[in-house]
Amino acid sequence: MTQTKSGRSATFIDTAHVYLKAGNGGNGASSFRREKYIPYGGPDGGHGGIGGSIWFVATSNVTTLREIAFHPHITAEDANPGGGNKRDGANGEDKTLYVPLGTVVKKDGVILADLKEEGQRFRAARGGRGGRGNTAFKTRFNTAPKISENGEPGEEYEAWLELSVLADVGLVGFPNAGKSTLLAAISAARPKIAGYPFTTLNPNIGMVSHKGKSFAAADIPGLIEGAHEGKGLGDTFLKHIIRTKLLVHLVDPAGFGDFKPEKAVRVIEKELKGYHPLLGKKTAILVVNKSDLPEAAKVHDLLQKKFKKREIFLISAATGKGVTKLLDRIIKLLPEIKTEDLYKPESAPAPTPKSGGFRIAPDTEGTYVVTGARIEKLIAMTNFAQPDSWDRLRRIFRTIGLDKALKKAGAVEGDLVRIAHREFQWSDATPAAGRPGKFAYKYRRFDPDAGIA
């Protein structure tokens, strides 16, 4: 947990819903060299810069997603446009945000990254590339191109950040079983300790060093019956022990409420398994705490008879009795337990597009909607103020087979075609006479307010 200036614990937040917007690439320039006594200067428009990206970096100096959750709209800087004299625009500045170790980044339920190592970086949103200036379009057939590209839009989407803390050992049990007391006894962590149930409201983590070995231990709020269904506080934080290698199940010899120690053990183990099957399969050590109580030894013997195949320790976290023996066993077991990669990043299944990388589907109003990442990017980067850019766009449409695909889909003269945020009117006109090799205007920009431009 983090601390405020007043010394009070800041709110522990382990999830954040964020809106990411990387910087747009800079527009390319359409410019020509004009100097006295130098004829045929040619194109000299520079390229736009690259938009800033958004990065998440894992660090042990941050323990909560609080800061990000309170500022969910995250944007990176746009790049500058290119200029004349082949001047390229400056790149946009990247945005870097630091997240706790164990932060999982998701998009539409798909895991994009699991940041669990110190300094691990993940580019969550890529900045757009810069548009090319007219110098890039010069050929021996077109020595004075009046074409330049707009900058590519930066990536933009909603993401979920979830914190699943990294610990080797998880301390579980009913409220007031002594989990926080044990964590304070074996590490430098100082969780709140009191003699009433539900003292622990947030997960606490401590680093334990014993006989030259070190491991991290996590104490979560006490579980109650029905926790995996949302009762109590423990279910909210059970995800913080899913990564653990080993569970230490603490038992209060006095039981909890109406549950005797034996029943309490079974209830907790049922709740762990009910939350996630993996928790029910983890190696677990049963520990009867509060050995200074008169009934503790009797409860230990009873549990030993009921759970003959289980390893059961008798300790007192408050006095330290039996704790060394427990730690000896933990450091011996940990190297033998294999970890499972629960949050392996995966790629979202991409829809299979038709040839040319686009899809065509009419909407309810009869407009033919063309979708596809490549063609939408092409529209975004086309400078529609330049007639030569229009000609280039029509050539690309013809090359990738969009013309034929629209005609096959049933488009007729005057139908609207929408690509990204632009609309065009379909025309099946034949090329103008006397101009071989240059086909007719099949697409025109459509403005619903002003008609056809």
> pLDDT of 274-321, one tens digit each?
888 888 888 899 999 999 898 899 999 999 998 888 889 999 999 999
Distance, in Å, from the CA atom of 331 to the CA atom of 105, rounded to the nearest integer, reads 31
**pLDDT at position 127:** 97
Angle at 99 between CA 95 and CA 102, to 5 degrees: 140
User: Which tokens sit at 148?
Assistant: 């330049």
**pLDDT at position 141:** 87
Q: Label residue 370 left, alpha or beta by phi (over 0 means left) and psi (-120 to 50 means alpha).
A: beta
**pLDDT at position 430:** 52
Using the predicted structure, report yes or no on whether residue 445 has a pLDDT greater than 60: no
Distance, in Å, from the CA atom of 273 to the CA atom of 249, rounded to the nearest integer, reads 14
Higher-pLDDT residue of 65, 280: 65
Of 128-142, 183-197, 333-347, minimum mean pLDDT range? 183-197
Using the predicted structure, report yes or no on whether residue 354 has a pLDDT greater than 50: no
Using the predicted structure, report yes or no on whether residue 370 has a pLDDT greater than 80: yes
User: Which domains, from first to last, does the chain contain?
Assistant: 15-163 (2.70.210.12), 169-336 (3.40.50.300), 359-452 (3.30.300.350)
**pLDDT at position 191:** 66
pTM of the shown model: 0.78
Angle at 178 between CA 175 and CA 180, to 5 degrees: 95
269: closest CA among 251, 253, 252?
251
Distance, in Å, from the CA atom of 25 to the CA atom of 302, rounded to the nearest integer, reads 70
Distance, in Å, from the CA atom of 19 to the CA atom of 73, rounded to the nearest integer, reads 5
**Cα Rg of the chain, angstroms:** 32
Across-strand partners of 98?
57
Distance, in Å, from the CA atom of 144 to the CA atom of 135, rounded to the nearest integer, reads 9
Distance, in Å, from the CA atom of 87 to the CA atom of 144, rounded to the nearest integer, reads 18
In a 3-state reduction of DSSP, which class is residue 451?
strand
Angle at 332 between CA 317 and CA 291, to 5 degrees: 20
Distance, in Å, from the CA atom of 88 to the CA atom of 132, rounded to the nearest integer, reads 9
Count of beta carbons in the 10 Å neighbourhood of residue 72: 14
Distance, in Å, from the CA atom of 139 to the CA atom of 162, rounded to the nearest integer, reads 51
Burial of 348-380, coded b for 16+ CB within 10 Å and e otherwise, reads eeeeeeeebebebeeeeeeebbbebeebbebbb
Using the predicted structure, report yes or no on whether residue 106 has a pLDDT greater than 80: yes
Count of beta carbons in the 10 Å neighbourhood of residue 95: 21
Distance, in Å, from the CA atom of 377 to the CA atom of 422, rounded to the nearest integer, reads 12
Using the predicted structure, report yes or no on whether residue 242 has a pLDDT greater than 60: yes
Of 37-51, 57-71, 81-95, 321-335, minimum mean pLDDT range? 37-51
Count of beta carbons in the 10 Å neighbourhood of residue 294: 7
Using the predicted structure, report yes or no on whether residue 439 has a pLDDT greater than 50: no
- How many residues are there in the chain? 453
Q: At what angle do helices 179-186 and 323-333 cross, to 10 degrees?
A: 80
**pLDDT at position 309:** 84
% of the chain surpassing 70 pLDDT: 83
Alpha-helical runs (H) found in 369-414 = 373-381, 387-399, 402-409
**pLDDT at position 11:** 63
Across-strand partners of 425?
416
In angstroms, the Cα distances linking 258 to 45, 263, 302 are 80, 9, 18
**pLDDT at position 347:** 60
Across-strand partners of 43?
32
**pLDDT at position 440:** 40
**pLDDT at position 261:** 87
